[in-house]
Amino acid sequence: MTDFVAVIPARYASTRLPGKPLADLAGRPMVVRVAERARESGAAAVVIATDHEEIAAAARRHGFEACLTRADHRTGTDRIAEVVAVRGFPPQQVIVNVQGDEPFIDPALIREAAHHLHAHAEAAIATACHPIRDLESFLSPSVVKVVLDVHGFALYFSRAPIPYPRDAFAAGAKALPRGLPAYRHIGIYAYRAEFLTAYSGLPKTEAEEFEALEQLRALAHGYRIAVWVTDRAAPAGIDTPEDLERARLAMAKEAGHRPYGSHHN
């Protein structure tokens, strides 16, 4: 059994949904719903990392540990790095970054991230992807793609359609050609604590800035990212009031079928 800690970065400010972590989902704040899923993953500890006392208070009220962090972090990874510094985790401690706006995340996905990093000693990070089947997703800049090497390590992440099927598209293909290794990146990350300690000191790169993908900083500085392919669809994150309303309806429907917390695949 891999020992790992799940950390949930929860920033109060959100352009499209202010106070998002505190949004009510079936009687509990969204970030608490995420933490419940993280707890089901078998994590040795679940920590909510936030810049806001109200979020920290909500976490503690529901029995979860909270760590108050600076308000000026630009990324969730930077926020988690502060938690590592505050808590003094040993260098090889595995930390899983669980997005605070994914209340339907599969606990098995969190556990698999930790296991995959544990199984790849040469990697600083582990993350997941799943096959892209449709042309619309492949072409969409909101769908992040990843290209892998023959050993399952990330070569590059991009919002562009990669790998680009030159001949098929030149011939006017209206669907993805059979066998194209197109993968959508799933935003679950496992890190070693020593990488997080180094991360905030790494200079940003042009590719990271233009693509708006922070994982490119790790690749640019020579860190290896181990990726596993899963057929599980990525859970839908909550970014807008419309997303929140859909999540409320889905959670109400789910609660009607089973008590929350009795997770099944």
Name residue 185's beta-bridge partners: 129
The DSSP-derived string for 7-55 is EEEE-S--SSSTTGGG-EETTEEHHHHHHHHHHHTT-SEEEEEES-HHH
- Residue 251 in any domain: the answer is no
- Residue 67 in any domain: the answer is yes
Average pLDDT over residues 40-49: 96
Query: CATH number for the domain including 140?
Result: 3.90.550.10
Distance CA 174, CA 126 (A): 33
Counting Cβ atoms within 10 Å, is residue 187 exposed (0-12), middle (13-18) or buried (19+)? middle
User: Is-above-0.75 flag for pTM?
Assistant: yes
Distance CA 38, CA 5 (A): 9
Instruction: State the residue range of the domain holding 31.
Output: 4-245
- Render pLDDT for 187-237 as a digit per residue (tens, 0 to 9): 899 999 999 999 989 999 999 999 999 999 999 999 999 999 998 766 678
* Count of CB atoms situated within 10 Å of the CB of 178: 6
Q: How many domains does the chain have?
A: 1
- Render pLDDT for 138-180 as a digit per residue (tens, 0 to 9): 999 999 999 999 999 999 999 999 999 999 999 999 999 999 9
- Residue 137 in any domain: the answer is yes
* 250 three-class SS: helix
- Residue 256 in any domain: the answer is no
Quick check: bond before 177 cis, omega within 30? no
pLDDT computed for residue 256 by the predictor: 67
